[in-house]
Amino acid sequence: MGTSASAPGPQQKRLAAYLEGLAQAAGHADRHTPLKNYCTGLLLPGERKSVEPMAARLAPDNVRRMHQSLHHLVADAPWSDQALLARVRSQALPALEKQGPVVAWIVDDTGFPKKGRHSVGVVRQYCGQLGKQENCRVAVSLSVASWSASLPIAYQLYLPESWATDGKRRSQTGVPDEIGFRTKPQIALEQIRQAVDAEVRRGVVLADAAYGIDGQFRAGLTELKLSYVVGVQSSMTVWAPGTLPLPAKPWSGQGRPPRLLRRDGQHQPLCVKQLALGLPAAAWENITWREGKQHPLRSRFAALRVRPAHRDYWQAEPHHEEWLLVEWPKGEAEPAKYWISTLPSVTKLKDLVRMAKHRWIIERDYEELKQELGLGHFEGRGWRGFHHHGALCIAAYGFLVMERSRFSPSARAGCLAIPSSKPPANFQPRGGSASLRTA
């Protein structure tokens, strides 16, 4: 690795100490230096953060040897992604919390466009990066956030059912035997359970409607004693304030007494859109939830206490009351967004809105992880390599979180005081920021 002749500066020393703390997660001592090199390569300047161009920046005089070392670490070496992320969490979260307590756990997923069909998890599905259905793979993540910073602590590929049941492709890409088909909400709920078991400082769970509309996901959060503010679709049904499902039928005196709740033609729940459209003008308030880049972010909101109605006809007791939060921007023909929340009944509208809108903070994580740290630059096809690369990118991001906690908000990949060397003359890496490598 190219180094400067001068003594290492304070930031270099902090990076060295941070990487030394992570290296043990790689297991065998032979992997410690490659792990440090890989993370350093992710933090150095450069458009492409796949193995080949990183090797050229780290060791321009011996690119081949560095390439082999980095490739073996990320594609073949059997170290634990969870162990590495746990070490990142143990070092970076205390630094994050110096600027404010943990307030939220944020669930999200991100897509990676990819051609072909042989790279693990690639199918035609919705890709948020492109805003449409496209060939891609999708990873589910869990982030821990204060009001000013956030850090991913879990990251797993979503394996579509067509992949989960395809033994040949599973074998070719090294999908572990224990990995079967699970929906994205099921993956997210397992990540949350693991965070609870690890005694991570708790926060309110935030997620978009792809997760919030899943009743089992919400029930799982409640079972874990976690509050949530999650998006839901306009078609979700609820019982309006002051209404309940019908009680069980009166007992006839024969057989088991009826116990299930009822509804009939005249007594039905409402979809949240219908309920929102019927609210009086006085129910809506203009709320500013944070400062944007150019102006304060402001919109109209209403909140009311409702009871979810999903499958309550199979229950003996109605669902508990929750908040229904609705956003209806001024000038729009109908409401734009809906959330359901188990925050306390005394929660103020502005606090509900602020928490619901706090999901925005992880957009910065994904933007930087993808654009600066090369999260989407992994060129291999295998399960192990995909997750190793993701964990190492998050490890590099953890160092940036720590640097920013030192009142250095400008700390970014490629702008750190880390000595680097120029790649060999005429070096041209495969791939590029605008290319989609064939799977």
Cβ atoms of residues 245 and 318 within 8 Å: yes
Instruction: Verify that 30 and 166 share a domain, yes or no.
Output: yes
Does residue 23 fall inside a structural domain?
Answer: yes
Domain match, 205 and 281 both:
no
Residue 182 has pLDDT above 90, yes or no: yes
Residue ranges making up the domain that contains 167 = 10-209+363-404
State how beta strands 270-271 and 337-341 pair: unpaired
The torsion angles phi and psi of 35, rounded to 5 degrees, stand at: -65, -45
Do residues 26 and 155 share a domain? yes
Q: If pLDDT is split at 50, 70 and 90, which confidence band does 1 have? A: very low
Whether residue 310 is found in the same domain as residue 378: no
Whether residue 184 sits in one domain with residue 52: yes
Note the pLDDT tens digit of each residue in 47-97.
899 999 999 999 999 999 999 999 999 999 999 999 999 999 999 999 999
Kindly tell me if the per-residue pLDDT of 424 is higher than 80. no
Comparing 85-99, 124-138, 198-212, the range with the smallest average pLDDT is 124-138
In a domain, residue 236? The reply is yes
Same domain, 192 and 326: no
- Are 368 and 330 within one domain? no
**How many domains does the structure of the chain reveal?**
2
What DSSP assignment string belongs to 139-186? EEEEEEE-SS-EEEEEEEE---HHHHT-HHHHHHHT--TT-----HHH
**pLDDT score of 2 more than 70:** no
Residue bearing tokens 């495969």: 430
- Regarding whether 299 and 152 lie in a shared domain, the answer is no
* Assessment of whether the complete model's pTM goes beyond 0.85: yes
Angle at 121 between CA 51 and CA 186, to 5 degrees: 120
Same domain, yes or no, for 201 and 123?
Answer: yes
The answer as to whether 188 is a domain residue is yes
In the chain, the percentage of residues whose pLDDT exceeds 70 is: 95
170 assigned to some structural domain: yes
Cα 122 from Cα 206, distance rounded (Å) = 27
428 within some domain? no
